[in-house]
């Protein structure tokens, strides 16, 4: 039987959990070792309330600094102020979340679900750069865990992942890429086209003049996109 513990490891960004500050915790894994993750809670969090939840996957080497970068730019304070719960994991021992560490994600989601009430009992899923590659891979591994997928940028990292795109049936997919990010545009266009051919709800936004880290998605813009997807799934309520 696995043993799960949580430990407060750090506080960053602005002061006070009530204002969207994230805390770091550790999850002991049944396979051994630990998975470190950041948790963001809405202001005046109430464990008896239901909240929309986001699993956010960081870019680059996916270490703690990259987790903090994603929280600062897209889904930290901004998400908390929109009433969201956010979980963002750190790659254990440098193993990326599309190169082996994805096997730990089900344990993490089970742990969060056991102690928080989630809207629809599922997560939305997002990632940028390597996090976008990871988001596709994890969504394709466990599609029943997620409401939607947003990648900024991101695409299926392997041919076999493209072959599994049908597993995303019924999930809105939103893709964002800088217009100057020429290496990433073609595979993202391929993902859009293949999902569109299947009749899925997919949109690709190419941001003119922007590079691999589109600045126009900073601040509240990403949360506007995420809330639009949430509203779509709830019928506009």
Q: Using an 8 Å Cβ cutoff, are 71 and 140 in contact?
A: no
CA dist., res. 58 & res. 81, Å (int): 20
Q: Using an 8 Å Cβ cutoff, are 176 and 152 in contact?
A: yes
Three-state DSSP at 26 gives strand
Domain chopping of the chain, boundaries: 11-233
Q: In 10 A of CB 114, how many CB atoms?
A: 8
The pLDDT of residue 237 is: 55
11-233 has which fold? Answer: Rossmann fold (3.40.50)
What is the pTM assigned to this prediction? 0.91
Mean pLDDT of successive 10-residue stretches along the chain, which has 237 residues: 29 33 92 93 95 98 97 95 97 96 96 97 98 98 98 97 97 98 98 98 98 93 97 83
């Amino acid at each position: 039987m696995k043993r799960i513990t949580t430990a407060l490891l750090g506080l960053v960004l602005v002061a006070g959990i009530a204002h969207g500050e994230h805390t770091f915790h550790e999850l002991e894994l049944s396979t051994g070792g630990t998975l470190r993750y950041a948790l963001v809670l809405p202001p005046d969090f109430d464990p008896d309330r239901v909240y929309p939840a986001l699993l956010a996957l960081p870019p680059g080497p996916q270490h703690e600094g990259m987790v903090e970068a994603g929280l600062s730019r897209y889904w930290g304070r901004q998400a908390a102020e929109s009433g969201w719960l956010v979980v963002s994991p750190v790659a254990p021992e440098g193993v990326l979340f599309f190169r082996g560490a994805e096997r730990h994600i089900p344990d993490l989601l089970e742990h969060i679900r056991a102690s928080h009430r989630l809207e629809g009992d599922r997560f939305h899923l997002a990632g940028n750069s390597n996090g976008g590659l990871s988001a596709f891979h994890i969504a394709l591994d466990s599609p029943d865990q997620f409401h939607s997928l947003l990648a900024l940028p991101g695409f299926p990292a392997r041919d076999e992942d493209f072959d599994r795109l049908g597993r995303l049936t019924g999930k809105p997919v939103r893709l964002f890429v800088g217009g100057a990010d020429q290496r990433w545009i073609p595979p993202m266009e391929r993902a859009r086209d293949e999902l569109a051919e299947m009749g899925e709800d997919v949109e690709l936004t190419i941001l003119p003049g922007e590079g691999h880290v589109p600045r126009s998605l900073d601040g509240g813009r990403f949360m506007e996109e995420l809330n639009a997807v949430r509203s779509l799934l709830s019928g506009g309520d």
